[in-house]
Amino acid sequence: MEAKAINKYIGSSPRKMRLVVDLIRGVSANKALEILHFQPKHSAKDAEKTLKSAIANFLHKGDEGKVDPSELFVKEVFVNQGPTVKRISPAPMGRAYRIRKRSCHLTIVVAKKKV
């Protein structure tokens, strides 16, 4: 059994978010929470929030009875690109530079370890 949590429209670029989520792929859920909590990057907060939601979703499903959160692991983590907001910044000699403010969608899937 597995449970999934999706966090959409995160105000961080997908490239920066992938640096954080690559650290927790395949790790136990408790260890992943620990890694994200002490990670200095800004996008780690959003990843930690989404991981906590995925764990809560798994515990709420409860098809297999009482499940200890220490038995869970991060089965899948992936980041997709969200919409890009375009802004204009003034540049020299009457020109304009385009600023692209990127966003991303984060998906985390947790599952129970096979014994």
Give pTM, 2 decimals.
Answer: 0.90
Residue 41 and residue 78: Cα distance in Å, rounded? 17
Domain definitions of the chain by residue range:
2-112
Question: Residue 92: enclosing H or E segment and its boundaries?
Answer: none
Residue 88 and residue 115: Cα distance in Å, rounded? 55
Residue 30 and residue 40: Cα distance in Å, rounded? 18
pLDDT-derived band at 102 (thresholds 50, 70, 90) equals very high
Q: What CATH architecture is 2-112?
A: Alpha-Beta Complex (3.90)
Q: Do 51 and 36 contact (CB within 8 A), yes or no?
A: yes
Check residue 105 and give its pLDDT.
Answer: 98
Question: Residue 12 pLDDT > 70, yes or no?
Answer: yes
Angle 85-87-92 (CA atoms, 0-180°, nearest 5)?
155
Check residue 24 and give its pLDDT.
Answer: 95
